[in-house]
């Protein structure tokens, strides 16, 4: 700081031999733009307690308070809830998908049973696992999930498997028919076989990369209208489907709602998959300091839409904990929620956000309050 043409204070530690001068300046200039009151109080505190390290800590505390980190989320972020279980095994079932729905359903049921036999408490299926991934197929394979039973054989199987095997299932996604609209929908079942959440893909996959890939889900599908966070026997889970993972705001919102784990059934393609699939998963995990799980269909080189595969589990420090290649596989990996608290203690981002400069608004929660 310059006063009367002389430098009397530099960034970093305070010089103790300037104490009398600084205290005098605090008294003279307290409340002015030259010496704001918050600064003078900090310096006064320094000379009362002595060591410069304690000043730095107090200064950091005062500044952190002025940054208003709690206001960076509106409404304020929820405290991370205590999960019903701290450690468990997750299964990512990277399945082959054919044009035969009945075979797809029976094959998925077999994979779920195998995963449970290997110790999984949570099973995740791929995006569009009961149907070929194409705009032509979506209307033909779509099911009335709300009606259930024969109107939705895919979800009827998931409910039966969850109840019989006592496992929580993130049911990938299937084409859903609701009134005159079609959705790309993920169903979540608890260990009693009850449908406890239904996520309709919020961000539709409309891309055009000349000479590589063009696909417009919006030709047949309707976008969902609500984020989905669900409390399960294995913790609080935020659900997204494939293209949803590209939108960091959704993941941030889920983290602010207290999610332990984000699950994204997804079918990235041979153009964006090699470049973005793992990158996006690790980014969502490390930005929000939680677990991210993805599950892709296995690759079929003869299909109209060729999936990248590489289903993956990422930890809260951005580390890849388990993954596979493009062939059919069931990945079994352990989730340890204590790692979330550890990493958030290592890097206390929640306390360091600048609510005085930016804010993420959860529109749905705001309207409900």
- Position 18 scores a pLDDT of 38
The pLDDT tens digits of the residues spanning 227-271 come to 999 999 999 999 999 999 999 999 999 999 999 999 999 999 999
Q: How many domains does the chain have?
A: 2
The reply to whether 71 falls in a domain is no
Q: b/e string for 93-105 if b means 16 or more Cβ within 10 A?
A: bbbbbeeebeebb
Q: Are 50 and 181 within one domain?
A: no
Q: Are 228 and 332 within one domain?
A: yes
The reply to whether 14 falls in a domain is yes
β-bridge mates for residue 230, sequence order: 237
Task: Find the mean pLDDT for residues 88-113.
Answer: 98
β-pair type (181-189, 195-200): antiparallel
Phi first, then psi: what are they for 218, rounded to 5°?
-65, -10
Does 278 participate in catalysis according to the annotation? no
The reply to whether 76 falls in a domain is no
pLDDT band, very low/low/confident/very high, at 182 (cuts 50, 70, 90)? very high
Q: Are 200 and 337 within one domain?
A: yes
**Annotated active-site residue in 242, 263, 278, 295:** 242
Taking the model in full, what pTM does it have?
0.84
Which residues span the domain enclosing 122? 87-364
Does 89 participate in catalysis according to the annotation? no
**Annotated active-site residue in 101, 127, 198, 278:** 127
Phi first, then psi: what are they for 341, rounded to 5°?
-65, -40
The reply to whether 74 falls in a domain is no
Length of the chain: 369
- State the DSSP H helix or E strand holding residue 55, giving kind and residue range, or none if neither: helix 52-66
**Annotated active-site residue in 121, 201, 278, 295:** 201
The reply to whether 81 falls in a domain is no
Q: Are 94 and 153 within one domain?
A: yes
- Position 102 scores a pLDDT of 98
Does 201 participate in catalysis according to the annotation? yes
Token pair, residue 333, equals 């990996």
- % of the chain surpassing 70 pLDDT: 83
Question: Taking a C-beta distance cutoff of 8 angstroms, is the pair 312, 294 a contact?
Answer: yes
Domain boundary at 16, 36, 66, which? Answer: 66
The total of other beta-carbon atoms located within 10 Å of residue 355's CB is 17
Q: Domain holding 343: CATH number? A: 3.60.110.10
The reply to whether 73 falls in a domain is no
């Amino acid at each position: 700081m310059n006063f009367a043409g002389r430098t009397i204070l530099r960034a970093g530690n305070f010089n103790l031999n300037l104490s009398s001068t600084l205290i005098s300046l605090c008294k003279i200039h307290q409340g002015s733009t030259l010496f704001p009151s918050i600064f003078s109080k900090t310096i006064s505190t320094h000379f009362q307690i002595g060591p410069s390290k304690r000043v730095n800590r107090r200064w950091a505390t005062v500044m952190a308070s002025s940054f208003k980190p709690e206001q960076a989320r509106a409404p304020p972020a929820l405290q991370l809830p205590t999960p019903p279980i701290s450690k468990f095994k997750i299964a990512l079932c990277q399945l082959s998908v054919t044009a035969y729905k009945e075979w797809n359903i029976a094959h998925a049921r077999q994979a779920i049973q195998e995963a449970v036999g290997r110790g999984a408490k949570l099973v995740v299926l791929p995006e569009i696992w009961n149907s070929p991934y194409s705009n032509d197929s979506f209307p033909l394979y779509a099911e009335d999930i709300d009606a259930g039973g024969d109107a939705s054989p895919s979800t009827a199987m998931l409910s039966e498997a969850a109840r019989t095997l006592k496992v929580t299932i993130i049911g990938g996604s299937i084409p859903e028919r609701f009134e005159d609209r079609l959705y790309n929908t993920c169903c979540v079942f608890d260990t009693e076989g009850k449908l406890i959440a239904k996520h309709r893909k919020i961000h539709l996959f409309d891309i055009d990369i000349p000479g590589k890939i063009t696909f417009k889900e919006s030709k047949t599908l309707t976008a969902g209208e609500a984020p989905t966070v669900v409390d399960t026997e294995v913790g609080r889970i935020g659900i997204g489907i494939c293209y949803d993972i590209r939108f960091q705001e959704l993941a941030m919102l889920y983290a602010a709602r207290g999610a332990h784990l984000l699950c994204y059934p997804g079918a990235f393609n041979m153009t964006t998959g090699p470049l973005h699939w793992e990158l996006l998963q690790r980014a969502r995990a490390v930005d929000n300091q939680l677990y991210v799980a993805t599950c892709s269909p296995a690759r079929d080189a003869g299909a109209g839409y060729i999936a990248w595969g590489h289903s993956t589990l990422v930890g809260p420090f951005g580390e890849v904990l388990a993954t596979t290649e493009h062939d059919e596989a069931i990945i079994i990996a352990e989730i340890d929620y204590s790692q979330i608290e550890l990493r958030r203690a290592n890097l206390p981002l929640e306390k360091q956000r600048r609510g005085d400069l930016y804010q993420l608004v959860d529109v749905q929660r705001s309207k409900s309050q």
